[in-house]
Amino acid sequence: MTIESESSRPKSPASQLMDEQVSVDSEERALVQHETDNETESPDEVEMHFIDHLDELRQRLIRSGIALLVITGLCALYSDVLVNNILIAPLKNSSDTIVLQNLVPYGQISLYLQVVFFSGFILSFPYTAWQIWQFVVPGLKDIEKSASRFAILFISLSFFAGIAFGYFVFLPVSLTFFAGFGTPLIENNIAVQDYISFFVGALLTAGLVFELPFISYVLSKIGLLTPAFMKFYRKHAIVALLIIAALVTPSTDLVTQLVIAVPMILLYEISIWISGYVNRNNTALK
């Protein structure tokens, strides 16, 4: 009698089904292992990715710097207009008695350089913000990308709105108050460097403060900020904004501090409305 080997015997349907299941499980384990191996990067690969990110950031900063230099060069062609008609105009309109004084030999050269560079910075701000945004956006999630749609447009408009507020509202009110305060027996002779520092600080502060509604919109869109949260901490926020206004204003008088504090509080209230509009479909967060 011929004895058949075990391997040549026909397998039952149950055995065949079990063998197929084992084969599928083996393939799935191999696929998972392959994906795990791909996701696990060596320290050298991680370092290379980090260096690539640094190189990209360097390239974008270089482009922003080139744009700043080009626009600053164009502003230099109109330096006299910027100094006479833009920088000194708010001071002259506030009072005829205030006199600017140059106290150092290189004072006017330094003044012109600061005015030209500051003008170039303001005009090149949208391009610089766009370069930084292009570096950040690949690492955002889909919901964050959706929340920050038209981000550069909103950031730029908010920044320019703040600059306009600082120039047309904050500076005239502050300078008029300074010119009319005190005894007429003391002449108001202001050093050029002190005035340019006050001018630049006021405009930059206003420009940054006006970004608050945009920040509120983005944080509300991704679920990190709610109108209920902002309303609950409204009193704390008002106190904090008053403290910030006292720190950023160069003088200790209440009027100047209120000129910058009141718009900040109004912007906070606008931010509450924006957060409520974003979360309008979720009544639990209002």
User: What percent of the chain clears pLDDT 70, i.e. is strictly above it?
Assistant: 74
* pTM strictly above 0.75: no
Paired tokens of 192: 């050029």
Rounded to an integer, what distance in angstroms lies between the CA atom of residue 218 and that of residue 148?
6
Note whether 56 and 135 are within 8 A (CB): yes
The confidence score (pLDDT) of residue 1 equals 46
Rounded to an integer, what distance in angstroms lies between the CA atom of residue 18 and that of residue 242?
74
Across the range 130-148, mean pLDDT stands at 74
Coil, strand or helix: which one is 44? helix
DSSP summary character for residue 86: I
Coil, strand or helix: which one is 193? helix
Among candidate residues 112, 110, 66, 109, the one with its CA nearest the CA of residue 87: 112
Which pairs count as long-range contacts for 82-88, CB under 8 Å and 24+ apart, including other chains? 82/115, 82/116, 82/119, 83/111, 83/112, 83/115, 86/115, 87/115, 87/196, 87/199
Q: Given pLDDT bands bounded at 50, 70 and 90, which one contains residue 116?
A: very high
How far is the first Cα of the chain from the last one, in angstroms, to the nearest whole number? 88
Identity of residue 119:
S
Rounded to an integer, what distance in angstroms lies between the CA atom of residue 99 and that of residue 72?
28
Coil, strand or helix: which one is 278? helix
Paired tokens of 141: 């999630």
Rounded to an integer, what distance in angstroms lies between the CA atom of residue 256 and that of residue 245?
9
Specify which of 24-28, 31-35, 110-114 reaches the highest per-range mean pLDDT.
Answer: 110-114
User: Has residue 30 got a pLDDT over 60?
Assistant: no
Note whether 207 and 166 are within 8 A (CB): yes
User: Has residue 13 got a pLDDT over 60?
Assistant: no
User: Has residue 135 got a pLDDT over 60?
Assistant: yes
Among candidate residues 234, 235, 233, 216, the one with its CA nearest the CA of residue 225: 216
Rounded to an integer, what distance in angstroms lies between the CA atom of residue 154 and that of residue 218?
11
Paired tokens of 167: 């120039």
User: Has residue 20 got a pLDDT over 80?
Assistant: no
Q: Given pLDDT bands bounded at 50, 70 and 90, which one contains residue 249?
A: low
The confidence score (pLDDT) of residue 77 equals 93
User: Has residue 231 got a pLDDT over 50?
Assistant: yes
Mean pLDDT of the chain: 77
